[in-house]
Amino acid sequence: MDLEATRQGPAGRLRTAMARAAVVACALSLMGCDGVQSALDPAGGDALRIYRLTLVMTIGGSLIFLLVTGLLLYAIFAAPERRVWLGSRRTVIIGGLAFPIVVLSGLLPYGLIVMRDTDVPRSGALPVEVIGEQYWWRVKYPAEQERAEFSTANELVVPVGRPVTVSVTAADVIHSFWIPNFGGKVDMIPGRVNRLNFTAERPGTYRGVCAEFCGDQHARMAFDVVALEPDAFAAWRDEQANPAREPDLPDRARGRELFRAGGCGSCHVVRGTEADGAFGPDLTHVGSRRTIGAGQFPNNVGTLAGWIANTQHIKPGVRMPSYGSFTGEDLRALAGYLESLK
């Protein structure tokens, strides 16, 4: 038996397996690159600038790392007479002084120019106010010309092509507002208003997250970002400014009565009804939102009912108590009413 072959065999197989694993790992990590919440899939000019900066830094850093590692191995393993130049004064001055100074002198203005061109306020921008609360997002569209002000929650709808200025603050603790596809993060600090400017250049649905630990349910504090064509945005805006629609089915009317009798209106607004609580999210058009619970579930009767009955099970620590005392039938009526508030 060929001893050499048996020794090489497992090592060779191990190498092949490692190479395959590396390919799979690369493919898996790249799969995460495009998507609704990815800084590697920019959908606006600001995000694109940040993405390019990331590429330059990552690729440049990797190349320099490989170069230094190569030189290190060369210094360790090369024959002494071949590696002697590595210790010369000239190598130290070029590699240790001149090279970093030249690289950093290039990167510094580049980084500053990216900073200058990103997040620039533009005239004619759509103003939006977002307030971070434990653990959801209050979104206000201030009145603009003849269009009335209205509030929504956990959903930022923006027109494609028109700059947006988001003024952010927080109601309780520090949160951070981040839509990776559109730009950088900005802290939401109680008592202070920070601003973020971006322009969506591609229609679609994206996702924003809280990027500053804000309590138990920080990880479940997301919001949908929907970029619509200008016409569709105008239509959405008009619709949102309307008061809540009247229940069109007896079951939904019963749901509205349960909403009233259950005291939901002491925390939630439903414009057009007596519900005017300002503590929780505005529910006037809750049925039109894509998700509930700050991005936790798709929005439908089932998840709405589950949420009402079980908030403390789904997101322990949220301000809304679980309303587990509703019967199944009542819960269906109540959730059906909310779902009809398109």
Residues that bind other proteins (CB under 8 A): 101, 104-105, 108-109, 112-113, 115-116
Sheet with 155-159, side-by-side order of all strands: 155-159, 222-228, 204-210, 175-178, 186-188
Long-range contacts at 262-265 (CB < 8 A, ≥ 24 apart) = 262/323, 262/326, 262/334
Nearer to other proteins, 110 or 236 (CB): 110
Nearer to other proteins, 121 or 263 (CB): 121
Of the pair 118, 199, the CB lying nearest other proteins is at 118
Structure tokens at 336: 């059906």
Residue 35 vs 106, nearer CB to other proteins: 106
Q: Per-residue b/e over 302-332, b at no fewer than 16 CB within 10 Å?
A: ebbbbbbbebeebbeebebeebeebeeebbb
DSSP label at 92? I
- Contact assessment for residue 230 and residue 203, using Cβ atoms and an 8 Å cutoff: no
**Closest distance of CB 112 from other proteins, Å:** 4
Q: At closest approach, how far in Å is the CB of 107 from other proteins?
A: 10
Are the beta carbons of 104 and 183 closer than 8 angstroms?
Answer: no
Helices (H) and strands (E) in the chain, counts: 9, 12
CA-based torsion, 16, 19, 25, 30: positive or negative: negative
Instruction: Give me the least distance between CB of 142 and other proteins, in Å please.
Output: 23
Q: How far is the CB of 208 from other proteins (least distance, A)?
A: 23
Report the nearest approach of other proteins to the CB of residue 75 (Å).
24
Q: How far is the CB of 93 from other proteins (least distance, A)?
A: 11
CB of 71 to other proteins, least distance (A): 23
Nearer to other proteins, 105 or 242 (CB): 105
Question: Of 99 and 213, which has the nearer Cβ to other proteins?
Answer: 99
CB of 109 to other proteins, least distance (A): 6
In angstroms, the CA 250 to CA 256 distance is 10
Q: How many CA atoms lie within 13 A of 312 on its CB side?
A: 7
Report how far residue 76's alpha carbon sits from residue 299's, in angstroms, rounded to the nearest whole number: 61
**247: amino acid identity, one letter:** P
Does residue 320 contact residue 306 with C-beta atoms inside 8 Å? Answer: no
Structure tokens at 115: 């900073």
Indicate the residue among 52 and 313 with the shorter CB distance to other proteins: 52
DSSP 150-186: EEEESEEEEETTSEEEEEEEESSS-EEEE-TTT---E
The letter for the amino acid at 204 is: G
Residue 116 C-beta: closest distance to other proteins, Å = 5
Question: Residue 195 or residue 290: which is nearer to other proteins going by CB?
Answer: 195
